[in-house]
Amino acid sequence: MSKADHMLSILWMLKQRGRTAGELAEALEISVRSVYRYIDALCISGVPVIADSGTGGGYSLPEHFIEAPLFFDSEEQRSLLQASSFARGTGYPYVEALDRAISKLKRYSNAQQLEQMERHENGIESIHSPSLPLTHLIQELELGTANGHTLQMEYNKRNGGTVSSRAIDPYGLVLWKGQWYTVAYCHQRQEIRSFRVDRMVELHRTEAIFTRPTDFSARDFLLNSLLPVRNTEETLVTVVIASEEGILNDLCSHWLFGHTLVQRKDGQARFQVDETSLLTYVPYFLLPYGTTLRIMEPLALKQKLSSIATDLAAHYRT
C-alpha cells in the first residue's frame, strides 16, 4: 500500500472509533513507528487528530469532523472539474497544484463516479485570449497579497515607454477581459492604483510588511476606476435605446451602461448619463452595434454618431 492509502485507511478507522497506535499498526500490518509518521502527515494536511496519552488513550477525531462528509458528491465533483477548466489559459499560477488535486479526486473515486466525471469533464470549456506568460508575476502578486509583503516593481506605463521603479502593497488581483490587473497602494503616488500585470517588467519581494484594508474589494476598485469620472455638478441626460432583447442584454451587461441603467422594459432601456460621457465615451461604445439598435433620445447623441460615421466613411473613401 502507498503512503496515501495507509493515511486514508487510518482516517477511515479513526472515523469509526478511537484507536491506539498499536491497534492501527496491527490492523494495517505496519510498524508503530510508521503509524506515528502517517498520523503526523494527517495532522500536517489539516486533519484534526486528537492524541490522548496514558491508559485508555490513543488517537481519535473530533465529533464534528466525523460527521462532516469526507468525499464530494457527484455535483461537487463535476463543479470542481469544470471550474478547473476555467482556470487554465488565464495565467492562474497554481495549475500544477490544481492537477494534483483533481488527480486525488479521481484516485479515490469508484468506477461509476469516474465514468460520470469523464462525461462531464469536457462538457464546459472556455476560450481565452492569447497572453504573455505571466504566471510567475501573478504568483508573486498573489503571495504578496496573502502574506502582506511590499513588492518592488519595474513598471512600463505604456508598451515601449519609459520604465519606472516603485514600491507597491498589492491588495488583490482581478482578471478582466482577458487582462490581469493588480490593485495596490503605490508608495510613489501615495494612493491606491491599478496596474496591468503584462506591463510589469520585474517584481521583487521586499522585507517590508503591510496590512491590507479590511473588507477591501480589488474588483470594485478596478470597476469604479474604469467608469468615467462623473462631475456631480453636471446634469444627467436621459438616453433611451431600443433593440431586441438579446442586444439590450449585451448592452446592459457592459460596465458603463450597467452602472447607468435606470429602467428596462420590453425592447427598450433607459439610462442616465452625464453630459461629458454622452459625447465622449457613449458614442464609441454604441458604434460597433451598427443598425442593430435605435437611439430614441437624445438628439445630440444621434447627431454625434452620425458625425463619427460620416468621418469614418470619408476617411476610407480617400
Start-to-end CA span in the chain (Å) = 77
pLDDT at res. 132:
67
Q: Are residues 142 and 222 in the same domain?
A: yes
Quick check: 131 pLDDT over 70?
no
Q: Are residues 160 and 211 in the same domain?
A: yes
pLDDT at res. 194:
93
pLDDT at res. 73:
74
Domain of 59: which CATH number? Answer: 1.10.10.10
Domain count, the chain: 4
Q: Are residues 141 and 212 in the same domain?
A: yes
Domain ends where: 171, 202, 226?
A: 226
Q: Does residue 130 lie within any of the structural domains?
A: no
How is residue 193 written as a grid cell? Answer: 492604483
* 2 vs 79, more confident: 79
3-state secondary structure of 76: helix
Q: Are residues 140 and 221 in the same domain?
A: yes
pLDDT at res. 68:
54
Domain ends where: 29, 46, 67?
A: 67
Q: Which of 136, 145, 271 is nearest to 197 (CA)?
A: 136
In this prediction, residues 103-121 reach a mean pLDDT of 80
CA angle at 219 for the pair 209 and 246, rounded to the nearest 5°: 165
Q: What are phi and psi of 214, to 5 degrees?
A: -65, 135
pLDDT at res. 205:
95
Q: Are residues 140 and 222 in the same domain?
A: yes
* 264 vs 254, more confident: 264
pLDDT at res. 241:
95
Q: Does residue 126 lie within any of the structural domains?
A: no
Q: Does residue 34 lie within any of the structural domains?
A: yes
Q: Does residue 203 lie within any of the structural domains?
A: yes
For residue 120, is it left (φ>0), alpha (ψ between -120 and 50) or beta? alpha
Q: Does residue 26 lie within any of the structural domains?
A: yes
Q: Does residue 231 lie within any of the structural domains?
A: no
Q: Do 35 and 17 meet the contact criterion of CB atoms below 8 Å apart?
A: no
Q: Are residues 157 and 117 in the same domain?
A: no
Q: How many CA atoms does the CB half-sphere of 30 hold within 13 Å?
A: 19
Of 96-105, 163-172, 192-201, which range is least confident?
Answer: 96-105
pLDDT digits (tens, 9 = 90+) for 53-64: 777 678 888 877
Q: Does residue 286 lie within any of the structural domains?
A: yes
Domain containing 9: what range? 3-67
Q: Do 154 and 164 meet the contact criterion of CB atoms below 8 Å apart?
A: yes
Q: Does residue 128 lie within any of the structural domains?
A: no
pLDDT at res. 89:
77
Query: pTM of the predicted model, to two decimals?
Result: 0.65
